[in-house]
């Protein structure tokens, strides 16, 4: 049809007929008519504050509700009972519906006939004499019905996508660490606030044995489902290879890189910060694979930046990098984070930035790792009033007296 809005145009405002009112004498009798004879669904049966009762029935397509109201006998609406309603029900097979409803006692004025507009029609009445037309599809109604079905299919697809996304969210939530390996001299915690239901940021805590734990944070090149799948791939590779090369961080990341490279698209890669902490010696060995620098707050105001020691993972078939090493003293705090922390923006277009992150850590120097990580996220949320566009993920680890 000419000048019809595109049913797939998401810019078109949602508009449909919600309900049509029919005046009847006995709503209970009407309920039996519409439910038992026409096989409509009872949509609602409510009594308003005014005391009037509204009963709604939905035809099989479920889009428009027929509301039956019993007006006062002295009202103007009461005089409308038993008239032609002007309402037309459309069906693919008028003759079949006519036969079925006739067998159930629905009164028709005549058998189906050809109409002037090229379709087939008949007229029936409810128990109060309200008349309705029953018509077949013609060119116009067929196109309208096709649009309706396309809209219904789109809504169903959106419903299923939302359901699948919720399942993916629950699955990914289980990929983040559910517990923390015991550590006598390190109070540590991690947090991830995703911009979407699923995302590509990753953090993990690994039990490396012999009083050593692994602190891992990564950022996948990608968001949404694509990023989440790559994140799961990276996590599986890292955890799997830990069993083989847990004592050799460099060898470990070479194996992880190889698997990540072979199992992902050419453009897929991840930045990663891997730290191995020895609970006995308080020694921290780390490899920074193209990730943002780790911030190590020493007991005073001094900050050490643990910069990149190797390239990103998954972009090249071979990976190599250096191992950094430092010793932690009680009161030292290590902060690892993704770019969603420092790149969160406010209404003025300003980024949260490293300076604000450093100030937030210093203000809460004596707090636990968990309290500090949550406080930082709250500050980011308060700073950024615009919609979050990237995952906010960080690990905070404080060295404590053993």
One domain for residues 139 and 234? no
Same domain, 233 and 303: yes
Element (H, E) at 51: none
**Domain match, 138 and 259 both:** no
pLDDT bracket for residue 5 (50, 70, 90): very low
The pLDDT value recorded for residue 3 is: 47
Residue-wise pLDDT for 70-110, tens only, equals 999 999 999 999 999 999 888 878 899 999 999 999 999 99
Q: Does 6 score more than 60 pLDDT?
A: no
Asked if 377 and 392 count as a contact pair (C-beta separation under 8 A), the reply is yes
Q: Which of 23-27, 39-43, 364-368 has the lowest mean pLDDT?
A: 364-368
Q: Same domain for 98 and 184?
A: no
Count of residues in the chain: 402
Task: Decide which of 131, 160, 189 is a domain's last residue.
Answer: 160
- Among 4-13, 34-43, 205-214, 309-318, top mean pLDDT goes to 34-43
- pLDDT of 26 reads 95
pLDDT at 50: 83
Mean pLDDT of 173-184: 79
Q: Is residue 249 part of a domain?
A: yes
Alpha-carbon distance 259 to 397, whole Å?
A: 29
What distance in Å separates the CA atoms of residue 171 and residue 191, rounded to the nearest whole number?
17
CA 272 to chain centroid: 26
Closest CA to 113 of 139, 90, 135: 135
In a 13 Å sphere around the CA of 125, the CA atoms on its Cβ side amount to: 14
> In Å, what is the CA distance from 233 to each residue of 201, 258, 268?
12, 12, 11
Least confident of 136-145, 153-162, 190-199: 136-145
C-alpha distances (whole Å) from 25 to each of 35, 301, 361 are 17, 83, 73
Q: Do 150 and 229 reside in the same domain of the chain?
A: no
Domain carrying residue 352: 176-399
Give yes or no: residues 183 and 114 share one domain: no
Query: Within this chain, do residues 148 and 224 fall inside the same structural domain, yes or no?
Result: no
Please report which confidence band the pLDDT of residue 205 belongs to, taking 50, 70 and 90 as the band edges.
very high
CATH number (domain holding residue 151): 3.10.180.10
Neighbours of 385 (CB within 10 A): 10
Q: What is the 3 state secondary structure string of 264-279?
A: CCCCCCEEEEEEEEEC
Residue scoring higher pLDDT (175 or 29): 29
Would you call 241 helix, strand, or coil by DSSP?
A: helix
Phi first, then psi, for residue 219 (nearest 5°) are -135, 115
Q: In this structure, are 89 and 189 located in the same domain?
A: no
List the beta bridge partners of residue 365.
Answer: none
40 located within any domain: yes
List the structure tokens of 22.
Answer: 């029919």
Structure tokens at 279: 């609970």
Q: Is 151 helix (H, G, I), strand (E, B) or coil?
A: helix
Claim to verify: residue 55 and residue 124 sit in the same structural domain:
yes
Tell me the percentage of the chain whose pLDDT exceeds 90: 44
Say if residue 10's pLDDT is above 60: no
Judge if 201 and 227 occupy the same domain: yes
pLDDT for 164:
67
Distances (CA, A) of 18 to 23, 63, 73, 253: 17, 7, 27, 60
Task: Give the mean pLDDT of 122-136.
Answer: 93
How high is the pLDDT of residue 104? 94
pLDDT bracket for residue 391 (50, 70, 90)? confident
Give the number of domains in the chain.
2
Say yes or no: 189 and 279 in one domain. Answer: yes
Report which of residues 234 and 128 the model is more confident about.
128
- Give residue-wise pLDDT tens across range 207-253: 888 888 999 998 887 666 666 777 777 777 777 777 666 668 888 88
Going through 48-150 in order, the beta strands assigned E by DSSP cover: 53-58, 65-69, 84-91, 113-114, 120-125, 131-136
| pLDDT (0 to 100) of residue 326 | 93
What integer pLDDT is reported at residue 2 of this predicted model?
41
- CA triple 393-395-397, angle to 5 deg: 165
Residues 31, 279: Cα–Cα separation, whole Å: 74
- 378/280 same-domain check: yes
Per-residue pLDDT at 100? 94
Q: Is 20 helix (H, G, I), strand (E, B) or coil?
A: strand
């Amino acid at each position: 049809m000419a000048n019809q809005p595109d049913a797939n145009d998401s810019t078109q405002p949602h508009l449909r007929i919600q309900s049509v009112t029919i005046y009847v004498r006995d709503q209970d009798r009407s309920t039996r008519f519409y439910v038992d004879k026409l096989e409509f669904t009872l949509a609602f049966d409510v009594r308003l504050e005014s005391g009037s009762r509204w009963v709604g029935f939905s035809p099989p397509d479920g889009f428009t509700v027929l509301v039956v109201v019993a007006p006062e006998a002295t009202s103007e609406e009461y005089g409308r009972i038993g008239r032609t309603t002007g309402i037309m029900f459309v069906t693919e097979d008028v003759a079949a519906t006519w036969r079925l409803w006739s067998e159930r006692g629905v009164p028709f004025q005549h058998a189906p006939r050809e109409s002037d507009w090229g379709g087939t029609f008949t007229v029936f009445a409810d128990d109060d004499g309200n008349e309705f037309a029953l018509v077949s599809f013609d060119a116009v109604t067929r196109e309208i019905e096709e649009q309706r079905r396309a809209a219904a299919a789109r809504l169903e697809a959106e419903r299923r996508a939302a359901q699948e996304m919720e399942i993916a969210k629950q699955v990914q939530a289980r990929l983040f660490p559910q517990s923390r390996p015991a550590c006598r001299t390190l109070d540590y915690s991690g947090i991830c606030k995703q911009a979407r239901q699923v995302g590509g940021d990753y953090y993990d805590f690994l039990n490396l044995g012999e009083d050593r734990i692994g602190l891992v944070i990564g950022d996948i090149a990608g968001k949404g489902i694509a990023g989440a799948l790559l994140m799961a791939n990276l996590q599986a590779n890292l955890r799997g290879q830990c069993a083989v090369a847990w004592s050799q961080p460099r060898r470990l990341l070479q194996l992880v890189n190889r698997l990540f490279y072979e199992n992902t698209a050419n453009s897929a890669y991840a930045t990663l910060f891997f730290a191995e902490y020895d609970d006995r010696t308080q020694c921290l060995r780390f490899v920074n694979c193209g990730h943002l620098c780790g911030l190590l707050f020493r007991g005073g105001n001094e900050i050490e930046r643990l910069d990149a020691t190797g390239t990103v993972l998954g972009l090249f078939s071979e990976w190599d990098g250096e191992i950094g090493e430092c010793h932690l003293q009680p009161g030292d705090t290590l902060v690892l984070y993704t770019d969603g922390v420092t790149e969160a923006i406010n209404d003025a277009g300003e980024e949260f930035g490293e300076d604000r992150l450093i100030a937030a850590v210093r203000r809460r120097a004596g707090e636990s790792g968990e309290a500090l990580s949550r406080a930082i996220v709250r500050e980011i949320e308060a700073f950024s009033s615009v919609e979050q566009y990237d995952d906010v993920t960080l690990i905070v680890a404080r060295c404590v007296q053993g």
